[in-house]
Structure 1
Amino acid sequence: MTLNPRTLRRALLLGCAAALLASNASAQSGAPEYDIVIRGGRVLDGAGNPWVSADVGIKDGRVAKVGTIAARGKREIDAKGRYVAPGFIDMMDQSGEVLLENGTAENKLRQGVTTVIAGEGGTPVEASKIPAYFKQLESQGIGVNFGTYYATHQARMQIMGDKAGAPTPAQMAAMEKEVGIAMRAGVFGITSALIYPPSSFQTTEDLIKLAKVASQCNGFYATHMREESSKLIPAIEEAIAIGEKGGVKVEIFHLKNAYAPQWGKGMPKAVALVDSARARGVDIAADMYPYPAGGTGVEITVPNWVWADGVEKGMERLKDPAVRAKLKQQVAAGSMADWSNLVEASGGWDKVVLANGQNPKYEKFHGKNFVEIGKALGIDPEDAAWNIVVEAYPKRSMALYFMMSEQDIETALRQSWVSIGSDAGASAAPGKIDTLGLPHPRSYGTFPRVIAEYVKRRPILSLEQAVRKMTGWPAQRMGLSDRGLIRQGMRADVVVFDYDKLDDVAGWTNPTDFPTGIDTVIVNGAVALDQGKLGNVKAGAVLRHACS
């Protein structure tokens, strides 16, 4: 039978009306079509676009719809007056080991972080054991999505130990093999931490050879550069050279101009150098944390030659009065070709603050600079620092180095290719310092601080720009094609926050205070932080970089 056009049009209209009535009946009956519906929020898509007023429907761990949603969800979240954004991505995390102990990652989740990329210091296991390590994380459960790099010094130590020296061809071939095993296991690339022995003993050529292995899997070379102070520009040039000659993408960890004599001058030069490299096709970018002080071990205050025969021998050298006399002269003279002098970079011992002496004897000096500590003990600040290093061993005493200026932080933040990385790990328990043993506010406040300080308190970034730096851009950078945006089909990693109440809270005297204004965090479609309360939800996934 053939319907005439008029009859066909009427049938179609009746069919549409019936479908609409059925849909309305379903919505009114409360039959849920979604697992979660976030209603009436100001949705920031993560790509830098202006916010839109919309509902967000989540089903089976993914964003199913963004817009006006009539149907109900099994769980309804009222976001009226608040912002809805993709979960934040920590581009320089230090949680690789602590997640085995406690996978909750509460200090990350309360910042709105749903994904972390770790591995500046490598993986907690050797290359051949990475698959088992990933499986253990998955079986135990983790609160955030987790990806990692493999460190070049891991391969070096396995083959050569922790002493200085050039590798033989056979040793280099063995290191290349380890990198290949790690890449095929799913790491995102290789890292170097070139101010720390034994990583500092690696040459540019060594790193290029290892980068070429990572390039076979389209991997990264991510680096804590050899210098971030007086030789910042040559250090960036080295990173660029490794990227170009090794055929890898380059990520500069915690970009900074950590050198008081060059504040306001070094960062513009660094930005221009990266821009120039990108203009000619080098895939290079950077991450940073928004604080004027870095944090690392007190042992970095002595030149690398002290550790050339390994850590044990280095500790013995530090006890020798004759060696100390030489070291004091070298510290006063400034950086060396193979050592970045962070005391000089900070502007003196009075800008270096003991954060964790790892010894009850020195707890009363936490928060004091080494000039103050030296005076209290009746010794030079150098002796105070090195006594603490020796007496803490095998633990690592930690310090805060006030090396950066707010002007340079602002300059770096404005760059579209800069993302955010905390350089901090998850804490093993609420309100405790992170796994590094470093009480730095970046462990609890990095991500809310980007908005609270650099959007709200001073207009360095727009809200949309800030959110992009923490979501869409890092996801794109790392090749996480189904994360970082609130769009249909994407993984449902979501943070809901109250802009007016958002504050990082954590500071130098209260570094483990939780932020305010973030009340709901969703990881892979599961509510991990629910109206400010942390549930026993470990919905994170291990992220493996594909090696094709």
Structure 2
Amino acid sequence: MSSILIKNGLIVDGSGKLPYKGDLLIENERIKTVSDMSLPDSAADEVIDACGKVVTPGFIDIHRHCDAKPLNDPSFADCMIKQGITTTVVGNCGISMTPAPASLDGAKEMYKFHEPVLGPIEAGLVTTYDDYLKAIEKVSMPLNFASMVGFGSVKISIKGFADTPFTKDELKQAYDTIDNALASGAAGVSVGIMYIPECYTKTEEYAEILKAVGKHHAVVTAHIRGEGDSMVQSVKEIIEIGKKAGCAVEVSHFKSCGMKNWRKDIHTAIGLINDARAQGQDVSCDFYPYEGGSTSLTTMVPPKFVAGDMKKALEKMGTEEGIEEFRQLSSQTFDDWDNFAITLGWDRILISGVTKSHNRKYINKNVAECAKEFGFKDDAEFVCKLLHDEDGNVAIINLSMCQDDIDTVAKLPYSTIISDAIYADTDTPHPRMYGAFPKAIREYVVERKMLSLEQTVNKMTALPASRMKLQDRGLLKEGYFADVNVFDLHEFRDNATFAKPTLPATGLYKCIMNGHVVLSGGEVIKTDAGKVIKVKR
């Protein structure tokens, strides 16, 4: 038996209740006692003096894209632990490693398409959700790790990138795939309705297939169909899907993109969510504390151009005819797809990740700059030739949001904080990979005093744990797993910026995971204290 006593800290227990000075006793992997009375040093093998410091539950990031990292990067969690993140949930935005097509060529195509988000993956490594669980259970896990199943991966595994409706047999196959994954412990199902090939899926098809989620009393997290001009209608759609499927809904990275939509549409969409909640429907949202998002450049390609065949579309981009077709389509608006080339403009799309060395000259420059500086005819030609050369593997940062809208979402009592970190193979990622959680504390609590410390911690701990039904996590409570952070409120901070995105967070004094000290003095000292979480309902 091992035990740790944390003394004299300001306990912020994750519930949202007011902080209080107290002690916390850990035995083995669980919290034994939380008290506002002083406990004797003799009660534990190790004593941590937290005088002048804050003691919180370990932070929980329920939206991250490090699905493949446990299998190919042993140090992937260092930047998370330094932020105080002790638990993460992957498989977001409809994108997950499994299910994968049974054929090797099909799996390669899917993983290549997902690479700007998940990073490189060895095709044929896993095929089913159970395969994935077995694979990650074999490696030393540096943090607690749960996974959803992505609807986009389900669809690709069954239909490839086809733009045709599900047949009756395919509907059943998709339902059964999701049903089996949830029965195996998946944390939920994510949809990426904006992404190809999900954008071809109708509302009714989603509702029918996702009844499997309702059966298991699980959650659907949604990268909605549009976050720009069609954002309000897209929020309405996912609420309708959740209602028909009988499942909880989380609007992922809730935001309003496009300058003409700022300070307006977010309030209308919140009204829709509040109305649904008032009628008893379980609807919530999450957000990251940055004005720029990050995704794949392929999301800027009109679905009409792709026409259900991404491989052919990328080949077509290498021809003059294809470039002209893209030029024409990217200058049009669509009722069922947000064209960020118009609502944002190419000058707000930064190239953040490529795979070929000769394209690194474009990194940290926007599309308009690249087209002008490197002699392309126009933005459309640059985008086509880059995507063709990289086989679609280009990551971007889109400067799409305004601070007022972010603040509005942050203040919602049901909004949780996420990072939405993507793992393109690049040394210039979005800074949220390294700093989202301490940034929220520094900015909202310390500097701007927009939220209280207890509100902000709640959005990082108990609220996301409850949303994903992560049992016995997210609170400093007797019997709960001992995931604990200790830090000085004014020293704990993010350092990553868009100019210097890989600077790690600093100022975390101690991080404890399942009863083990994994970080001390700002450095990660243990990398195998995590658990693979199978959600039980």
**Are 1:103 and 1:538, in contact at CA under 8 Å, matched by a contact in 2?**
no
Separation in structure 1 between the aligned mates of residue 492 and residue 356 of structure 2, nearest angstrom: 36
* Residue 96 (structure 1) aligned to one of 64, 67, 80: 67
Amino acid at match of 1:488: E
* Residue 116 (structure 1) aligned to one of 68, 71, 88: 88
Deviation of 1:93 after TM superposition, in Å, equals: 1.3
Separation in structure 1 between the aligned mates of residue 487 and residue 355 of structure 2, nearest angstrom: 37
Aligned to 2:105: none
* Residue 407 (structure 2) aligned to one of 405, 410, 425: 410
* Residue 393 (structure 1) aligned to one of 366, 391, 394: 391
Amino acid at match of 2:130: P
Q: 1:468 to 1:436 in 2, by over 3 A?
A: farther
Deviation of 1:515 after TM superposition, in Å, equals: 1.0
Moved more, 271-280 or 381-390: 381-390
Q: 1:471 to 1:436 in 2, by over 3 A?
A: farther
Structure 1 unaligned spans of 5+:
1-32, 426-432
Which string of whole-angstrom CA distances, capped at 9 and with x for unpartnered residues, describes residues 336-367 of structure 1? 13322122232x11111111232222212211
Amino acid at match of 2:440: V
Aligned to 2:98: 125
Aligned ranges 1:524-543 → 2 under 5 Å: 524-543=514-533
| Aligned residue-pair number | 505
2:53 matched to 1:53?
no
Identical-residue share of aligned pairs (%): 30
Amino acid at match of 2:82: R
Separation in structure 2 between the aligned mates of residue 477 and residue 49 of structure 1, nearest angstrom: 18
Deviation of 1:155 after TM superposition, in Å, equals: 2.2
Aligned ranges 1:375-390 → 2 under 5 Å: 375-379=372-376, 380-390=378-388
Deviation of 1:374 after TM superposition, in Å, equals: 1.0
Which string of whole-angstrom CA distances, capped at 9 and with x for unpartnered residues, describes residues 405-446 of structure 1? 001010000001100111115xxxxxxx66688610010000
Deviation of 1:400 after TM superposition, in Å, equals: 1.0
Separation in structure 1 between the aligned mates of residue 517 and residue 407 of structure 2, nearest angstrom: 34
Larger Rg: 1
**Are 1:251 and 1:285, in contact at CA under 8 Å, matched by a contact in 2?**
yes
Which string of whole-angstrom CA distances, capped at 9 and with x for unpartnered residues, describes residues 173-212 of structure 1? 1221211211111112221111111111211111111111
Aligned ranges 1:11-410 → 2 under 5 Å: 35-67=3-35, 68-70=38-40, 71-104=42-75, 105-120=77-92, 121-126=94-99, 129-334=128-333, 336-346=334-344, 348-379=345-376, 380-393=378-391, 396-410=393-407
Separation in structure 2 between the aligned mates of residue 308 and residue 333 of structure 1, nearest angstrom: 16
Aligned to 1:9: none
Structure 2 unaligned spans of 5+:
101-126
**Are 1:151 and 1:190, in contact at CA under 8 Å, matched by a contact in 2?**
yes
Amino acid at match of 2:16: G
Separation in structure 1 between the aligned mates of residue 58 and residue 414 of structure 2, nearest angstrom: 19
Aligned to 1:14: none
Which string of whole-angstrom CA distances, capped at 9 and with x for unpartnered residues, describes residues 362-407 of structure 1? 212211111111111222122112211111116x111111000001
Amino acid at match of 2:14: G
Deviation of 1:63 after TM superposition, in Å, equals: 0.9
Separation in structure 1 between the aligned mates of residue 525 and residue 287 of structure 2, nearest angstrom: 30
The 4+ residue runs of structure 1 with deviation greater than 6 A are: none
Separation in structure 1 between the aligned mates of residue 535 and residue 354 of structure 2, nearest angstrom: 38
Amino acid at match of 1:69: L
Separation in structure 2 between the aligned mates of residue 434 and residue 42 of structure 1, nearest angstrom: 38
Q: Secondary structure at the match of 2:62?
A: strand
Separation in structure 2 between the aligned mates of residue 152 and residue 35 of structure 1, nearest angstrom: 43
**Are 1:398 and 1:438, in contact at CA under 8 Å, matched by a contact in 2?**
no
Separation in structure 1 between the aligned mates of residue 403 and residue 228 of structure 2, nearest angstrom: 16
Separation in structure 1 between the aligned mates of residue 416 and residue 293 of structure 2, nearest angstrom: 17
Aligned to 2:120: none
Q: 1:438 to 1:271 in 2, by over 3 A?
A: farther
Amino acid at match of 1:484: G
User: What TM-score comes out, normalization by structure 2 length?
Assistant: 0.90
Separation in structure 2 between the aligned mates of residue 78 and residue 111 of structure 1, nearest angstrom: 20
* Residue 496 (structure 1) aligned to one of 451, 476, 486: 486
Deviation of 1:329 after TM superposition, in Å, equals: 2.9
Amino acid at match of 2:446: K
Which string of whole-angstrom CA distances, capped at 9 and with x for unpartnered residues, describes residues 232-289 of structure 1? 1110011000110000000111111112111111111121111111110110111111
Aligned to 1:430: none
Separation in structure 2 between the aligned mates of residue 126 and residue 362 of structure 1, nearest angstrom: 32
**Are 1:304 and 1:338, in contact at CA under 8 Å, matched by a contact in 2?**
no
**Are 1:220 and 1:251, in contact at CA under 8 Å, matched by a contact in 2?**
yes
Which string of whole-angstrom CA distances, capped at 9 and with x for unpartnered residues, describes residues 73-95 of structure 1? 21221211110000001021111
Moved more, 299-308 or 504-513: 299-308
Q: 1:398 to 1:122 in 2, by over 3 A?
A: closer
**Are 1:86 and 1:486, in contact at CA under 8 Å, matched by a contact in 2?**
yes
**Are 2:79 and 2:504, in contact at CA under 8 Å, matched by a contact in 1?**
yes
Aligned to 1:441: 431
**Are 2:70 and 2:136, in contact at CA under 8 Å, matched by a contact in 1?**
yes
Aligned to 1:518: 508
Q: Secondary structure at the match of 2:26?
A: strand
Amino acid at match of 1:53: K
**Are 1:299 and 1:386, in contact at CA under 8 Å, matched by a contact in 2?**
no
